[in-house]
């Protein structure tokens, strides 16, 4: 938090060095939080706030959302009103393709785990990760994936951790 004379800015003067306001992720993040807080507040209201002496199911959520919302709004306004300046974008170094692949693969494993069994699901996952993300050669990928899955299977059996079995008992 930046501060000039004692006691001035409570809301952090976030980085002012973005090139364009429309592409400013900080803005979107704060906006998202404002919307989220509002949605929660509405949902909490519908659940019933009760009275102060007898809080209902929505009480806590409403209270937290009513604090979070204005705080996020404060950030949002601060950011929106600050003059934009060039500089480091929060997501400058992000490789979204990698993020998507990794998250998608994990999601896929969750989806497939019970259907095709642990062995096949993780084997496929490792293929993608070693191959597509880490960029290993295809035979290295296959070998590594097979080895790891095999080792994991053995370890899981040893610890007695039940893992879903797919066809072929994998």
Nearest CB to another protein, comparing residues 12 and 167: 12
Rounded to whole angstroms, how far apart are CA atoms 87 and 108? 37
Question: Residue 97 in 3-state DSSP?
Answer: helix
Residues 6+ apart with CB under 8 A from 68: 33, 36, 37
Residues 36-75 interacting with another protein (rule: CB under 8 A): 40, 43, 46-48, 51, 53-61, 64-65, 67-68, 71-72, 75
- Do 112 and 119 form a contact (C-beta atoms < 8 A)? no
Tokens of 76: 């949002």
Q: Binding another protein by CB under 8 A: which of 14, 116, 120, 170?
A: 14
Measured from the CB of residue 169, what is the shortest distance to another protein in angstroms? 10
Question: Min. distance of Cβ 78 from another protein in angstroms?
Answer: 10
**Residue 130 to residues 120, 149, 170: CA-CA distances in angstroms?**
15, 13, 20
The residue (of 22 and 54) whose beta carbon lies closer to another protein is 54
- Which of 23, 25, 137, 167 binds another protein (CB under 8 A)? It is 25
**CA terminus-to-terminus distance, the chain:** 54
Interaction with another protein in 76-105: which residues (CB under 8 A)? Answer: 88-95, 98-99, 102-103, 105
Q: Which of 33, 38, 73, 82 binds another protein (CB under 8 A)?
A: 33
Secondary structure of residue 51 in the 3-state scheme: strand
The answer to whether the CB of 122 falls within 8 A of the CB of 109 is: yes
Smallest distance from the beta carbon of 65 to another protein, in angstroms? Answer: 6
Using CB under 8 A as the binding rule, whether residue 106 contacts another protein is answered as yes
The least distance separating another protein from the CB of residue 30, rounded to whole angstroms, comes to 9
């Amino acid at each position: 938090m930046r501060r000039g004379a004692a006691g001035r800015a409570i809301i952090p003067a976030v980085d002012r060095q973005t090139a364009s306001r429309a592409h400013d992720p900080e803005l979107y993040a704060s906006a998202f939080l404002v919307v989220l807080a509002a949605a929660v507040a509405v949902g909490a209201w519908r659940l019933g706030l009760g009275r102060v002496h007898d809080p209902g199911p929505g009480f806590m959520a409403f209270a937290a959302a009513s604090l979070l919302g204005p705080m996020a709004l404060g950030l949002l306004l601060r950011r929106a009103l600050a003059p934009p300046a060039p500089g480091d974008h929060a997501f400058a170094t992000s490789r979204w393709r990698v993020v998507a692949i990794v998250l998608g693969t994990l999601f896929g494993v969750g989806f497939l785990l019970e259907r095709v069994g642990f062995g096949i699901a993780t084997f496929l996952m490792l293929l993608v990760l070693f191959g597509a993300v880490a960029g290993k050669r295809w035979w290295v990928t296959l070998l590594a994936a097979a080895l790891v899955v095999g080792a994991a299977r053995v370890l899981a059996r040893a610890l007695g951790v039940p893992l879903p079995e797919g066809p072929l008992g994998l």
